[in-house]
Chain A
Amino acid sequence: MTEFSLAELCITAGSDIFRDETPEVFATVIGLVPRLAGSLAKKTFLPGLMMSDGEYYFAHEPVPVGPRNGYMPLKEGAIGYERVFDLIAKGNRHAFVGPVQVDQYGQMNLSCIGDYSSPKVTMLGVRGLPGNTVNNRTSMFFQSHNKRAFVPGEVDMVSGAGYNSARYPNGIFPKGLDHRRIITNLCVLDFEGENKAIRVRSLHPGVTFDEVQDNTGFELIRPKDLSETVAPTEIELAIIDSLDPNNLRKNIFKDNPNGRRL
């Protein structure tokens, strides 16, 4: 049986969010798992996927993460910040991001925790989440699935919009609101429950539904045909290795655990 790490399982599950994407989607992938996931999708089944080099250019080939050691990204266009805003508004974009909190509506927080005027914890700010979430497909990665991240009620500061009709004029969701998946260290979640409720889509090998539910601050939908997260193939593992030649992925989870719980 093929050996793989939990990080590699999350990267492969992350690439799967692009499986039903448009052929030339612009993917914004922030953080190591989203970046490697998007890169893997481009190298395996979605060659038209558009990615940046992380700085300014559209890269023809996914840029390996970490020290470049002489590697020069192969440019095929420009994607400065102003153009990013234009493409967010145009809509054919999938943002795969790592917020700090998420709630039952898929609302995200990247701003602060606690009282808004003098927060207990100040983070980055809302960044582009308000615009991303009502214009583009949105997926998330959480390195640690627990009740501090998957909060009861609503997140402390709703930075990214979700499926909470009380927050919209006449209760109508914006046309562009389209949350897809959440990848965590325990499972893959989606928004395919009734009224866009969050559902467990697959459990990572050895994880139970109850464990996921116990670590989530709101009720999750349990589908009838709850499957196991698909393991990476040898080919996928080799591609991941080529995209991460310095093995930065070994530091995503403490002690770099096996993808199959022992």
Chain B
Amino acid sequence: MSSFEINKCMTPEKIVSQIEDGMTIGIGGWGARRKPMHLIREIVKSDLKDLTIVSYGGCDVGMLASAKKIKKLIFGFVSLDVIPLEAHFRRARSAGEFEVMEVDEGMFQLGLKAAAARLDFLPCVAGLGTDVLTHNPEIKVIQSPYSSDNYVAMPAIKLDVALCHVTEADKLGNSFISGPDVFFDEWFCRAADVSYLTAEKIVPTSSFNDDYKIMRMPIERSLVAGVSEVPFGAHPTSNGPDYGIDVDHLKLYSSRAKEGWSQYVEEFINCEDYIGSVGGVEKISQLPLPVF
């Protein structure tokens, strides 16, 4: 089969229909940045349950927590960045609604890299001396075969599915991330059996014949099983430099953590026109990039 016959375009609904109860799902992005939020809203709408969620967490984790989709959370933090504490995560975590595997941010990445390299573990120093080891007794400490040093053997975090949002993709599954930081999306995809991307725009492959873009194309197309065009698919998180974090919306979302979640779902998740419900294309396009 020649390459021009490959067409991985599908609807977001189709992507979410590939996910099964009990699966381990990795979510790209970081905190309140470039999260595949349209797909998260589709999961909230679905009947899916008992998911293990693996994320550098933001409102992706918070929404899935309030929608009671999470059986276990593998995380280093959950934060909205501009709003440091994630209200939905806090409520659900303090209520003991899901199991947790809480690890250092770097250990988390090593877990993905180990899975990507088909290894059982990768060694690191991070974790020694902390309650990360107390609360995760499955994480072993080993002695170096070359010295008396001790290392944490961070186990592989194998994913069934990875979900990411990118700026552009083609129908072959090539993808370009325009924001400066590509975060760890490629490691989520390599750690997963299969990956799906939403993109601001589906473009012809010729659009990637560009040395600048090629520097920002970390995900191999062979990892990608499906792509879907979803403009503003990261909202209310940012997709720099095209649009920033919707701080006002995140404040409203945060205020619905203790009560009002079902109202949030009605207003912003079960609605016909999401972009319209959050202010429209023009407003989102003008959201300023975060400044720290």
Contact = CB atoms under 8 A, between A and B. Distances in A.
A131 B75 CA distance: 14
Interface of B: 30, 57, 75-79, 84-85, 89-90, 93-96, 102-107, 109, 124-132, 134-135, 141, 143, 149-150, 180-184, 289-292
Interface of A: 53-57, 67-68, 78, 80-82, 85, 88-89, 107, 111-112, 116-131, 133-135, 157-162, 164, 167-170, 172-177
B183 A81 contact: yes
Contact of A126 (B77, B141, B181): B77
Contacts of A56: 180-181
Greatest chain A CB density within 10 A among B95, B125, B290 is at B125
A43 B232 CA distance: 40
B130 to A, nearest CB: 5
A130 B180 contact: no
B77 A134 contact: no
A35 B268 CA distance: 37
A165 to B, nearest CB: 9
A135 B77 contact: no
11 contacts: A78-B180, A82-B109, A117-B96, A122-B85, A123-B90, A125-B79, A128-B104, A131-B106, A131-B107, A169-B150, A174-B129
Given A78-B180, A80-B181, A131-B107, A125 B129 contact: no
Given A55-B180, A81-B30, A158 B94 contact: no
A120 B94 CA distance: 6
Interface on chain A toward B: helix, strand, loop, or mixed SS?
loop
B94 A122 contact: yes
Given A54-B291, A55-B291, A80-B180, 11 more contacts: A112-B93, A119-B93, A124-B77, A124-B84, A126-B132, A128-B104, A131-B124, A134-B129, A162-B129, A170-B150, A177-B129
A130 B108 CA distance: 11
A10 to B, nearest CB: 20
9 nearest CB pairs, A to B:
A54-B292, A161-B129, A118-B96, A131-B126, A125-B77, A130-B104, A56-B180, A122-B90, A80-B181
B291 A128 contact: no
Given A68-B291, A124-B79, A161 B128 contact: yes
A67 B76 CA distance: 29
Nearest to A160: B130
A85 B109 contact: yes
A119 B94 contact: yes
Nearest to A66: B291
Nearest to A162: B129
A170 B129 CA distance: 12
A239 to B, nearest CB: 20
A255 to B, nearest CB: 23
Contact of B93 (A122, A175, A177): A122
Given A56-B181, A80-B180, A80-B181, A130 B93 contact: no
Contacts of B93: 112, 118-119, 122
B102 A131 contact: no
B106 A89 contact: yes
B129 A80 contact: no
Contact of B290 (A55, A130, A134): A55
A91 B222 CA distance: 35
Contacts of B289: 55
A131 B102 CA distance: 13
A81 B181 contact: yes
Contacts of A117: 96
Nearest to B290: A55
Contacts of A161: 128-130
Nearest to B289: A55
A160 B292 CA distance: 24
A176 B75 CA distance: 24
Contacts of A57: 180
Contacts of B141: 169
Given A118-B94, A118-B96, A126 B180 contact: no
